[in-house]
Amino acid sequence: MTRERSLTTGRPRLLGRDRNALTALALTAVSLTASGCVVVHGEREVLPAATRAEAAEALREFTTAYNKADAAYDSSLDAGHTTGALGAIDAARLKAGKVNSPDGNPRHTPLVLTDVKYTIVEKAGWPRWFVADAKANKGGDARWVLVFTRDALSDPWEAAYLTLVAPGALPAFAKDKDGWTPAVPSDAAELTRAPKDLSKDYATYLKNGGTAFADGAYTSELRAARAKNSIKPGLVTQYIDEPLTGGEFAPLALRTADGGALVFFATHHYVKQTAATGTSVPAPNQNVRALTTGEVGRTLTMEFVANEVAVVRGGSAGGKGVSLLSRLEGLTAARGE
């Protein structure tokens, strides 16, 4: 399996993994009946993504790989266990760490996840995915909410999304008699917003405002902070927001108990600082410098990937807009001029 990402300047080429999509497409269960062989195809049958034991093993393998990569500042050590928004953010973080500390992370503390709650999604077709919600020894009181996905039975589980959510903030999920939670199609028409549109809608909201999203830290307050920082003496800051939806960055949604959905999605952002003629932008910190190409003079353009988790209500539900529960972003590249 190979993965290519370009986290360089300009528009990124954030490409999905090279996968043999035709290999092991069918999750096959065979039962013999009086009439012969009956084959159940995973691409058509609604099935849980994993057993609870398999989900626990996937989380254990991720945590082990994540700790090795963090200790060594070596992205190759967990590249097979991350993808999507988390993969892009994590790879850039480790790259910057390696530049600044070639011998490894002197402040490494192993990540420990406890009190894990698994929400196993059932659906037809690929990707299969599940959610792990855990208490961590990092990030304060916030719980780590990880989404694991894979595109074929022969693929390893990879963490595509990571958000930090306040305890008790996640909604209750719909469950069937076996405890599985239904997936929500990306084009679900019964919601106030289709999951496939959230990335585009959020990028538009950050630029223009509006009522599509409820007020909060990641919406109205973020826009207010940007407005405050956009013009300062001798320095102008511009923001460009873009949707990020293709391949491994596709949104994932699961049904909540009230008929709405919890949606994980990704976005792509640029922040450009331009200093007045004859001056320079403020000196960036060492992590920004580690990911910067070119000489920082009058301008510095920083590129970010963010992953968000939102509650989307059913079409008949009341309330104002989509509610963002969490947003985690990371610098992936920068360019100086």
Query: In the prediction, which pLDDT does 315 show?
Result: 72
Query: In the prediction, which pLDDT does 319 show?
Result: 55
Cβ-proximal residues to 111 (8 Å cutoff; 6+ apart), any chain: 63, 66, 67, 70, 136, 137, 138
Name the DSSP letter for residue 76.
G
d(CA 293, CA 286): 13
Cβ-proximal residues to 106 (8 Å cutoff; 6+ apart), any chain: none
- The torsion angles phi and psi of 198, rounded to 5 degrees, stand at -65, -40
- The torsion angles phi and psi of 138, rounded to 5 degrees, stand at -135, 150
Query: In the prediction, which pLDDT does 200 show?
Result: 98
**For 23-119, where are the alpha helices, taking DSSP H only?**
52-72, 84-100
Query: In the prediction, which pLDDT does 44 show?
Result: 67
Query: In the prediction, which pLDDT does 305 show?
Result: 98
pLDDT tens readout for residues 40-80: 444 668 999 999 999 999 999 999 999 999 999 999 999 99
* Percent of the chain clearing pLDDT 70 (strictly above): 85
Name the DSSP letter for residue 112.
-
Name the DSSP letter for residue 314.
B
What token pair was written down for 215?
């007020």
- The torsion angles phi and psi of 70, rounded to 5 degrees, stand at -65, -40
Which residues of the chain are modeled with pLDDT < 50?
Answer: 1-42
Name the DSSP letter for residue 193.
S
Contact status, residue 187 vs residue 196, Cβ threshold 8 Å: yes
d(CA 26, CA 49): 13
In the chain, where do the E strands start and end?
Answer: 5-6, 13-14, 29-33, 36-40, 47-48, 113-123, 128-136, 143-150, 158-165, 181-182, 231-232, 235-244, 252-255, 261-275, 292-293, 299-312, 323-336
Contact status, residue 158 vs residue 81, Cβ threshold 8 Å: yes
User: 174-210: string of b/e by CB count within 10 Å (b at 16+)?
Assistant: beeeeebbbbbebebeebbbbbbbbbbbbbebbeeee
**For the chain, where are the alpha helices, taking DSSP H only?**
52-72, 84-100, 198-208, 220-230, 286-290
Cβ-proximal residues to 113 (8 Å cutoff; 6+ apart), any chain: 59, 63, 132, 134, 135, 136, 144
Contact status, residue 305 vs residue 88, Cβ threshold 8 Å: yes
Pairing status of strand 235-244 against strand 231-232: antiparallel
Mean pLDDT of the chain: 88
Query: In the prediction, which pLDDT does 5 show?
Result: 41
Query: In the prediction, which pLDDT does 97 show?
Result: 98
Tokens 């993969």 correspond to 87
Nearest CA to 146 out of 127, 128, 133 is that of: 133
Pairing status of strand 235-244 against strand 29-33: unpaired
